[in-house]
Chains A and B, each alone.
Chain A
């Protein structure tokens, strides 16, 4: 049996193991679950080395990307500033103090540092990610195209803005309001969230089923052909 056929065969086997969970949690599923976790961990570790730590950090740091010419001269001088990369590497090792009860506070330093990084980067993220959404919501309630009143776009914009404001109002936590009108706005906010949930549910059926259809096609065509090939 060729390696390609073996790959397809074990792929089908794994798929059936996962599907067997639908009936009940069983040993066949459990063995593949653990195998999957082991393989994913092994792949993840080497990938971090292969795609980041080696090419971007270690190789330049050790000067291994410098070519020595036959006459002994070098393609580029070694950049001493690269040695600074040792600092984050040592600092990152503090994570491992989490295991010692007495020194676990050292791990807190690097944890705090990482939390700080994503904290500091959030401000630029807000203005580039969310602010265009806010300004994108400034839709005119009366829309004219070629001097003509476009009632359909106007109606859509009115519904859009009404939904946006009522759902935002629903999420106010600290405004105490007894007035029935505002109570209605908040209730309609919740209804519109439900419409949004329903719409998303409907649109995700396509994605979920897409992969199930693809998996069944794989089992019925590719995998079945290999299994038959094994018997004959």
Chain B
């Protein structure tokens, strides 16, 4: 009778199943994802020179960076290419380093791609840093008629009145798009619940991890969010569209990651089949 396989053997199988494709940097074209294509179109058609900003919330930590990080990267890059000012913030403490590092990394890459152009802090993006208080922060932002006065300073301690981006931003109406990237339970709900007033509700687009895809679809279906990036698959297809639009763009890592994941799924499916075979084998042997 085949005893159940020891879990350490299973862990080893998973390790081998994943490491081999990664060693050879093996990657295939990602599967087209409709929601990612619609979101790309939505960002493409945003008016860019009216001083209104895109509020990007990075509510993920080191544990979710693989999926949410890739999504935020492709969307912020698209906004920066279209010269739409980006205001970054987070209601999740662990997002602090990404709020600083991510836009700078994208700006550096864009500056390498376009040596004559500049993307600098204060004019193309600013970082409001991590804000304590969850829904109460969003409630105050929605209610405020002078955001610079309410939010006081950015993460680097500069008064917002000093930063060029904030010269035209006064109320919620000056935020023309909200991008919320998270896999945390209930985080998107508070943006949907509290970042709105009776007269104006900024369109909210969402980058979810694959575990929260089903919930995200409820909100997409009920119209509470206007766009969705589903896990790394969404980011990989968005990145594919960006590369089509600007061929000089370097391939980012979402493509290799997407392939590695495909292999990982096959390992899990094989284990499920193996589990059932062992059970059937034992049952037939015991009769």
Contact = CB atoms under 8 A, between A and B. Distances in A.
Interface string A118-134: 00010011001100110
Contact of A200 (B214, B261, B264): B214
Interface residues of B, number: 48
A216 B25 CA distance: 12
Interface centre among A121, A136, A207, A214 (most CB of B within 10 A): A207
Interface residues of A, number: 35
A23 interface: yes
B218 interface: yes
B213 A203 contact: yes
Given A55-B153, A216-B19, A199 B132 contact: no
B257 to A, nearest CB: 6
Interface stretch (A45-53, A77-85, A103-111, A142-150): A45-53
Interface in A8-66: 22-23, 44, 47-48, 51-52, 55-56, 65
B279 interface: no
A205 interface: yes
B93 A210 contact: no
B261 A213 contact: yes
Q: Tell me whether chain A's interface is mostly helix, strand or loop, or mixed.
A: helix
Nearest to A204: B211
A214 B66 CA distance: 7
Interface stretch (B73-81, B106-114, B189-197, B237-245): B189-197
19 contacts: A44-B93, A47-B93, A51-B129, A129-B192, A132-B192, A133-B218, A206-B231, A206-B265, A207-B210, A209-B264, A209-B265, A209-B268, A210-B209, A210-B257, A210-B261, A211-B65, A211-B67, A213-B22, A220-B23
